[in-house]
Structure 1
Amino acid sequence: MPKGKAHRGRLSRPRLLVQKWGPFYVMLAPGLLFFVVFHYLPIWEAKIAFEQVRIIPPNIWVGLKHFGLLFASPVFWQVMANTLIISAMKMVFVFPVPIVVALMLNELRSGALRKVVQSAIYLPHFLSWVVISGIFIAALSPAEGVVNDLAAAMGFARHSYMTDTGAIRWVLVFSELWRSAGWDSLLYVAAILGIDSALYDAAEMDGANRWQKIRHVTLPGIVPTIATLFILNAGLFLSADFDQVFNLSNDVVRGTIDILDTYVYRIGLQTGEYSLATAAGLFKACLGMGLILAAHLFSKRLTGKGIW
C-alpha cells in the first residue's frame, strides 16, 4: 500500500471514532464537569481542616486541633446520632421497597396498566424537595391537612406531625419513600428484563407457580443489582439527604433531625467556621469510605457479589 494512503487511513480512524461516539461524549461532558468542579477540585482544599483559615494568606497549620474541638462537642455527637438513626430507618424501610415494586410491576400482564402505574410512581422523583416538602406540610397540617381531615372523620384527634419530635423522623421516611421508591425500582425492572426467559420456561415446565418463579428465578437474577445498590447506599449512609431535612425542619424539631450535612452547612456558611466545617465533612467522607468497604466485604461474604 502506498505510504500516503496508509497515512490517510490512520488519520481517518480517530475521525470515525469521533463521528461515532462524539454525541455521547458531548452528553457526558456536563456530568463530568459537575464532578470535576464540585467533587474533585475541592479535594485539594480539604487541607483547611488542618489549618486556621485567615483572611490574608497564608493559613496557619494547626494539625488535628479542629478534630479535637469537633469530637469534644456534645452537639456534634447528637447530630451524629440523628444521622445514624435517620439513615438506618431509611435503609430498613425504604431500600427494600423498590425491589418489591419492581417485582409487582413485572407481574402485571397488562402493558397499558403497567405504563400508567410506572408513570404515576416515577413522577415524584422529578419534583424538588421544595415542592415535596410543601406538599407534605400542607397534607399534614393539623388545621386543613387531608391526613388530619381523614383522621377526624374516623373519630381520631387532630395531630401536628411536623412539630412532633416523635413523628418527624417517620415523615422523613415516608416522604423519601414516596419520592424515590418508584424511580429506584427502574434499575430492578431493567435487571429483571435482562434475565434469560429460558429460565422461566424451565421453571414452568417443572410446575413452578408465580411465587416460586419469583423466589427461585427472579430474585437470584437481580442479586448482583441489589448488592451493588446496597453498597452504594452504604456509602451515602451518613448523608441522610440534606435537601429533604433542610426543607422539612423547623425550630421545634431541629434537634431531632439535625444531621451532619445541615450541621456542616450551619457552622460553615452561617457562622463562618470553615476549618471546623471542613473537618466534619472530611470525617464524614472517611467514614463513608469505610462503610463502602465494609458493605462490599459483607455482600461478598453473603451473596458472592460486590463492587469488584
Structure 2
Amino acid sequence: MDQGYVGVAQLLFSAATQRDGRFDPDWLDGDLNAFTDLTTPAALAAVIDRHFATSAQTLKNEEAAAAAQAPATGTPALDPALRRFSYNPLRGRPVVTGYDTRYLIPVPAAVVAKASPLGLYFTGLEGLGEAFANDLGELFEQYVGRQLHLLPDASVHPEIVYTEQRDEKKSIDWIVVFDDLVLLVEVKSVRPTMQLRLGAKDFATELTAKLKKAFGQIDKTAALIAAGKEEFAHIPADRPVLGMVVTMEPYHMINAPEFRSVLPAGVVSTTIAAIGEVEDAVTVTDTSLSTILVAGAQAGAVTPGGGWSLRTALGDHPLEMNPILDQAWEATPFGQPEAPTQP
C-alpha cells in the first residue's frame, strides 16, 4: 500500500468538508508534512490518482455498463427506489476529475469509507487480486482475537487442531471461557452481495452460502467439548455454551426471524455480529459480557425462528473507549496533531 494512504483519506475528507467538496494539493504549500509522510504536492497527487480518483467520464461509462447489464441479469438495481442498495462507484473512487477544479469530492463520507477495512479490501483486491482477500481474512481473524483478549474476566483460546478418523481438523476460530459461560466464536470475512441487499428471490441461497458453514462449525466444536475430546480437555464442559459469528461488514437485520429462518437452527444458540458490535461489547464496564450474552440469548429464544442481536443485548450498558481503536487512531496523522506555528 502506498505511503500515507490513511493520512491522504483523512486529508481529503477534511478538505472536502471545509472547501465545498473541492481539493487541490497545491493549497498545502509547506504544510504537507502535517498531514502525511508524502513530501511534495506531486507525490500526494500521485497517491490520489492511483487509489482515490477517477474521471467524470469513467463514472458515466460505469453507469451505462450497469444499465446495459441489468436486463440480462434480471437485476432491478437501476430502479430509482433500489439504487441506494446497489453499488455506488464512488465507494471505489470517491474523488472525481474533469470539472472546474483539480479534484471534486461529491460525497466526503465515501473518502472515509475508502480507508475503512471494506474500502481497503477493494483497493487491495484491485491491485493484488484474490491473494489479498485471503490474507485479509487471516488478519481479520487475528484482529477479532485481539478484541476478545480485552475481556477482563475471560480466557481466550485460539482454534484447536484435533484428529478425527486419522484426519487433522480444526475447531472454530476462538473459544472464550468465562466463569459461567463458554462462547464459541467463528470469524467470517464475507460481505453481503448486492443481490442480498436488494432482497432478490434467491436471497436465501446467497445467505446460506456465506454463513451456513459457521453454524455447523460451532455445533461441531460444542459437541467435541461436551464429549470430552482429548484436545479440548482444557475447555470446561460444565457450563452453558453460546455461539457468535463475527462478520467484517454488518448484515443488517440478520438476526430477525425473517432472515434467521433460512439459516440452520443449530444446536447452539448463536448470534451474528459485525465487528463494530464486538469492538463495543468487549468494553462493557458495569457487568460481565457473559451476563449480557446469556440474557440476550434468552430473549431471542422466545421468538420462533429468530436469533438474538448483540447490539440489542448491549442496550444502555456503559462502554469504555476501546484501546485497540485508540491505538489505531493515534497511528494516523490526525491522531498526532502538531502545535500551531508561531507567527
TM range (shorter): under 0.3
Larger RCO (CA within 8 A; separation ≥ 6): 1
**Greater helix fraction, Structure 1 or Structure 2:** 1
TM-score normalised according to structure 1 size: 0.25
Normalised TM-score (structure 2): 0.23
